Homo-oligomer: A and B are copies of this chain.
Amino acid sequence: MQVTEEVEKLLQLKAQIADDVQPHKFVLKCPKGTRDYNPQQMAIREGVFNTIIKCFKRHGAETIDTPVFELKETLTGKYGEDSKLIYDLKDQGGELLSLRYDLTVPFARYLAMNKIANIKRYHIAKVYRRDNPAMTKGRFREFYQCDFDIAGQYDSMIPDAECVKIVAEILTSLDLGEYKIKVNHRKLLDGMFAACGVPDDKFRTICSTVDKLDKTFWEDVRAEMVDEKGLNPEAADRIGHYVKFQGGMESVELLLKDETIQKQKSAVEGLEDLKLLLVYCELYGIADKVMFDLSLARGLDYYTGVIYEAVLQGYTNKPSAKEEESVSVGSVAGGGRYDGLVGMFDPRGKMVPCVGVSIGIERVFSILEQRVLASNAKIRTTETEVFVVSAQKNLLEERMKLCKELWDADIKTEQSYKRNPKPLDQFQYCENNGIPLAVIIGQSEIQEGVVKLRVVATRKECVVPRNTMVEEIKKELAQLSRDTTGINNPQTAGGKCC
């Protein structure tokens, strides 16, 4: 990541220098807050996606896709203070469009449009936010979300607990170290705000401010409430008391006994839900990963019930002295219940209760990329099994016939795109790219109706008849695959014939 940025800077400098001699000035870069993925990065990304998709499918999800942009009005009034971060398209005649800000609002629009009352679906796609990027921390303007949602009228906390279970399964599989899944409840927050004396019409904006507690300190949050949002200082201090509540079942029980909280029907409902959620998490074997935290607020307007957010331990959002040295990524997943969103789209206001979770993949990439860089591991970016080598000049047509035969037999095959490549260059290419097997032809092989097979790692060679070549190569590849995945010793790897 830092390498990419450095390269980008150097290229820009170079472009500026070149302008002195070139007439046309242009900037060679990706748009601010976006990045390319090179083949190594794509290999890491695909590994992460496979882990996530495997988990979503393990829980019986199907998948859908929606357009990258929506009618502007589809997104209007769904994101509260974050709406200013929505990318709009230029008015070029016709509909007014915006890039999707998340996958949840398009999902709700999809449900309402198709009158779907029950679905369990995942959706992995890019979303767009005109936020302040911090690319080394994995904060981008274009980034992937991996969403899993359960829509339908079901019994309390059963789908909600499964979402938490899914986050735990994914973070465990990705092997990112210790993590915690913080849980809270919008009804509890609303009840707490009411108990603290926050006026009803300030609930959502105060909620947005509380949400900043994971990135900044209480003093700054309090100042924003009082100075910017006009909350009276006593109310702010009462909030300051409650947002310290965190822990397991005992914290929830403690709050249920709080006399001020008890008076708020909404707060008690939220706490009862949380109790049930914690019981289910215990049954799902993830109680040690889950933590109630009354300071968790989530910025988005549409949540109505349980909310959650997963944070990696050892990585933090808050500023620290060591910030430059560590990859600080903070939250890697979040979500919650949004029972009112689909109703906002339905012409008759028909509600479809939903709960879901979104995995924020860029932050995970940042960690895995740095890990690969640090380990100096070489990642294969192709799956080529065979390289067709010509030992002498003027054998292009023979190579082409061999390639055709191998491709048609579904063997992953490459050859040089030069008419007369040097043998050494061809073998070097195999070694550089981790291609396990070379098929070599020269004049003598052609005359004898054979080809030579070479195991690239050991340089062991054997000769096989041309008409059984495909069969022999398949055996050899199977053997090599057993050797490397089983004994994992490529130096002594030997196939059937080599």
Q: Is A234 interfacial (CB 8 A cutoff)?
A: no
Taking the complex as formed, is A238 at the interface, i.e. its CB lies under 8 A from any CB of chain B? no
Residues 313 to 337 of chain A near chain B (Cβ within 8 Å): none
Judge whether A345 and B28 touch: CB under 8 Å: yes
Report chain B residues within 8 Å CB of A97.
31
Is A126 part of the binding interface, using a Cβ–Cβ cutoff of 8 Å? yes
A31 to B67, Cβ gap below 8 A?
A: yes
CA distance A252 to B5 in the complex (A): 50
Closest CB-CB distance, A229 to chain B, in whole Å? 25
By a CB distance below 8 angstroms, the chain B residues around A253 are none
- Residues of B near A417 (CB, < 8 A) are 150, 152, 154-155, 158-159, 162
Q: Which of A175-183, A263-271, A407-415, A446-454 contacts B (4 or more CB under 8 A)?
A: A407-415
Output the least CB separation between A279 and chain B (Å).
8
Contact of A384 with B142 in the complex, beta carbons under 8 Å: no
**Interface range for A:** 35 or more
Task: Point out the residues of chain B lying under 8 angstroms from A128, CB to CB.
Answer: 68
The answer, yes or no, to whether A475 is at the interface (CB within 8 Å) is no
The listed residue (B36, B115, B155, B401) touching A64 by CB distance below 8 A is B36
Q: Are A14 and B347 in contact (CB under 8 A)?
A: yes
* Oligomeric state, in copies: 2
The answer to whether A171 has its CB under 8 Å from any CB of chain B is no
Given contacts A18-B348, A35-B67, A142-B68, contact A60 B404 (CB under 8 A): no
Q: How far is the CA of A58 from the CA of B411 in the complex (A)?
A: 6
Binds B, one of A87-95, A208-216, A366-374: A87-95
Given contacts A36-B110, A58-B411, A61-B382, 8 further A-B contacts (CB under 8 A): A18-B347, A27-B73, A32-B95, A35-B67, A37-B66, A60-B382, A67-B142, A159-B417
Q: Can you give 23 contacting A-B residue pairs, CB < 8 Å? A: A11-B113, A27-B71, A30-B67, A30-B70, A30-B113, A31-B95, A32-B94, A32-B95, A36-B113, A37-B65, A39-B64, A42-B64, A57-B382, A59-B413, A60-B383, A60-B384, A61-B382, A63-B381, A67-B142, A68-B128, A154-B418, A155-B417, A285-B404
> Which residues of A come within 8 Å of B, CB atoms?
7-8, 11, 14-15, 17-19, 22, 26-32, 34-39, 42, 45, 57-71, 73-74, 87-92, 94-95, 97, 99, 109-110, 112-115, 121, 126, 128, 130, 142, 150, 152, 154-155, 158-159, 161-162, 165, 169, 280, 283-285, 345, 347-349, 381-384, 396-397, 400-401, 403-404, 407-408, 410-414, 417-419
List the 10 closest A-B pairs by CB distance, nearest first. Answer: A18-B347, A154-B417, A39-B62, A34-B67, A60-B414, A62-B381, A37-B65, A88-B90, A155-B419, A283-B400
